[in-house]
């Protein structure tokens, strides 16, 4: 059987490197203006500028840590491999193809649950409801020779 792979990831408009460059530019401009005003006697402005840049920096750091989050699903031979990357943490699941059950979507925002005898994993975090349904149908089609449906309501 041929390998099949799905890569599901966030739709990020700016890379972590570009974000760092923008933040450094913001810091330089904000601190230059605050220093200029501080030299005119309003030193408290510099304190507020530093506080503001710290808060913006924390938000940017959170964004950058999660910008590369993704889910990777690989169907290789008799195994279904699922890799979840969230905030730099990587979790890997290996499910035997013949015992995988697809749990259907019962609500629009619900994830797809892949379940085997003793473990389960949810996928589809970065997909719209329509794309998640398409993924469910593709997985069902690819697994169908070996699939034992938990419920046939996802068609």
H or E element at residue 124: none
The per-residue pLDDT for 145 is 63
pLDDT digits (tens, 9 = 90+) for 75-92: 998 899 999 999 889 999
Ordered domains of the chain (ranges, CATH): 4-9+68-143 (2.30.29), 16-66 (no CATH)
From the number of C-beta atoms within 10 Å of its C-beta (0-12, 13-18, 19+), residue 6 rates as middle
pLDDT digits (tens, 9 = 90+) for 15-51: 888 999 999 999 999 999 999 999 999 999 999 999 9
The per-residue pLDDT for 148 is 44
């Amino acid at each position: 059987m041929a390998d099949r792979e799905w890569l599901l990831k966030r739709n990020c408009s700016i890379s972590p490197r570009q974000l760092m460059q923008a933040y450094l530019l913001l810091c330089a401009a904000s601190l230059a203006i605050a220093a200029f005003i501080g030299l005119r006697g309003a030193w408290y402005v510099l304190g507020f500028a530093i506080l503001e840049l710290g808060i913006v920096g924390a938000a940017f750091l959170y964004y950058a840590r999660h910008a590369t989050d993704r889910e990777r699903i690989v169907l290789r031979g008799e195994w279904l491999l699922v890799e979840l990357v969230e905030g730099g943490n990587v979790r890997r699941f290996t499910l035997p193809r013949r015992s995988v059950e697809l749990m259907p979507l019962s609500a629009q925002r619900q994830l797809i649950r892949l379940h085997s005898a003793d473990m389960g994993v949810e996928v589809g975090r970065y997909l719209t409801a329509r794309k998640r349904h398409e993924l469910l149908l593709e997985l069902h089609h690819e697994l169908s020779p070996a699939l034992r449906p938990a419920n046939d309501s996802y068609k």
